[in-house]
Amino acid sequence: MLSLLSWEKSKPSLEDTVRKIQQGDTELHNELIQSFKPFIAKTVSSVCKRYIHESDDEFSIGLIAFNEAINHFNDDKGRSLISFSEILIKRRVIDYIRQQAKHKDTSYGTIEDGDSPLRQDHDSIGNYQQQTEAEARRDEILHYKQALNEFDIQFSDLAMISPKHIDARRNAILAAQVVAEDEHLSGALLSKKKLPVKELEKRLAVSRKTIERNRKYIIAVSLILIGDYIYLKDYIKGVLET
């Protein structure tokens, strides 16, 4: 962690550094990864509930995820490299744990003894997996709450501002998709902290009044899509598939 602090004091901003790396500065790339190894180990350890060494497979997963975060980071989306990479590292480690659990599950064969050591191990893996995912969801919701606060929207108000009719809710989500997929609209939303209603109206076959009525809900969904919230996206997917 001291290396991370020294980086922040002696180096250009992380955003400038990442931009140079994305332009092909391999020396700076290696230097950044080396400086952030303690951060990677700490993040992976928080998921695994034990201290992770650089020799552990989980650390390698975290390292690959951090490198992925560098390559795909875009500060126009309103998120810091640290918060973006933290979510990505946790997601990749959880995926790895799931894969390992599935692999162990196939090794049980036809064992039917509910008290067998293998079955107990399987149950503990399942419980651990559920606990890890629950904590990842909490982290994601906490970050999302902070993002909503910047728009004077409370997380507890989401149910109240959600359109009551399924068609209206689906149309609002489709409007949010337009915002999230358009760099100009999403950039305006994040920088000005308000929905670009006039520009959005030109892209949709709905009235300005309808957009204004669902403005907070469209913003809330847009932030989920822009911010790449893996668990919260399941809600959106569920609405669109009904």
Sign of CA dihedral 122, 118, 92, 94: positive
79-119: pLDDT as tens digits? 688 888 888 898 888 888 877 776 665 544 443 444 444 44
46-79: pLDDT as tens digits? 888 888 888 888 999 999 999 988 888 877 666 6
18-33: pLDDT as tens digits? 888 888 888 888 899 8
Q: Residue 126: is its pLDDT beyond 80? A: no
Contact 151, 195 (CB under 8 A): no
Q: Residue 35: is its pLDDT beyond 80? A: yes
147-174: pLDDT as tens digits? 899 999 998 888 888 888 888 888 899 9
Quote the CA–CA distance of 39 and 35 in Å, as a whole number: 8
Domain locations along the chain: 2-149, 155-241
